[in-house]
A and B are shown apart, each in its own frame.
Chain A
Amino acid sequence: QKEVEQDPGPLSVPEGAIVSLNCTYSNSAFQYFMWYRQYSRKGPELLMYTYSSGNKEDGRFTAQVDKSSKYISLFIRDSQPSDSATYLCAFNTNAGKSTFGDGTTLTVKP
């Protein structure tokens, strides 16, 4: 069984929609939770970072962590065409390495 399962997508939504991206994990040692965004033909870049259960908001983006259910989500409000990308969840243990989900490709149509 994989340590990380990410909703596979692809996901296509109209501009202005609320988007929900989700990952589950099985490794209880994961302590740090991240979302990366990867545009086509580019390397991933960090979008959100958190280490506690609950919600963390940054503009139109909200990262949600539920450690008891081993579930994390990324919400995008008022989605824009510029949000079209692949989103990767990532997890760190105290050892410092990251484990990535397979990614969900999002397309926001004008």
Chain B
Amino acid sequence: DADVTQTPRNRITKTGKRIMLECSQTKGHDRMYWYRQDPGLGLRLIYYSFDVKDINKGEISDGYSVSRQAQAKFSLSLESAIPNQTALYFCATSESRQGLIGTDTQYFGPGTRLTVL
């Protein structure tokens, strides 16, 4: 079984609809992240959470919200979807090597392809 799972894998929706993307992990990591990937723009951080009570905005958080329901679950919501939110969305987890902050390497889920019409 995959360590980081995302649901749904594909979603087509209409402008103005509320959408939730879900992420679950079995790696036991405290840190979780949401990214979007657009052609030519690489991976951009939307939100991140270093533990259940810690939520932080990334570089492109406008139009998005998140919920960290448990250590293993981190959901991303689009309150009112718009076409320029059409993208590939990735959830990731990380841990610090030997407990050293900054040495994190990230483990990505398979992605959710979202299309907003």
A46-B106 CB under 8 A given contacts A100-B42, A101-B42, A102-B41 = yes
B25–chain A nearest beta-carbon distance, Å? 12
Interface string of B32-66 (1 = CB under 8 A from A): 00000000111101001010000000000000000
CB–CB A102/B106 < 8 A:
no
CB–CB B102/A32 < 8 A:
yes
Residue from the list A41, A42, A43, A98 in contact with B104, Cβ < 8 A: A98
Chain A at the B interface: mostly helix, strand, loop or mixed? loop
Residue from the list A92, A100, A101, A103 in contact with B103, Cβ < 8 A: A92
- In the bound complex, CA of A42 to CA of B107 (Å): 12
Asked if B108 is an interface residue, CB under 8 A from chain A, the answer is yes
Interface size on B, residues (CB 8 A): 24
Interface string of A69-91 (1 = CB under 8 A from B): 00000000000000000001010
Asked if A94 is an interface residue, CB under 8 A from chain B, the answer is yes
Asked if B115 is an interface residue, CB under 8 A from chain A, the answer is no
CB–CB A88/B102 < 8 A:
no
A49-B105 CB under 8 A given contacts A96-B50, A96-B94 = yes
A96-B108 CB under 8 A given contacts A88-B42, A88-B43, A102-B42 = no
Which residues of B come within 8 Å of A, CB atoms?
A: 4, 31, 40-43, 45, 48, 50, 90, 92, 94, 96, 101-111
Which residues of A come within 8 Å of B, CB atoms?
A: 6, 8, 31-32, 34, 36, 41-46, 49, 51, 88, 90, 92-98, 100-103
A-B CB proximity, top 3 nearest: A43-B108, A102-B42, A94-B102
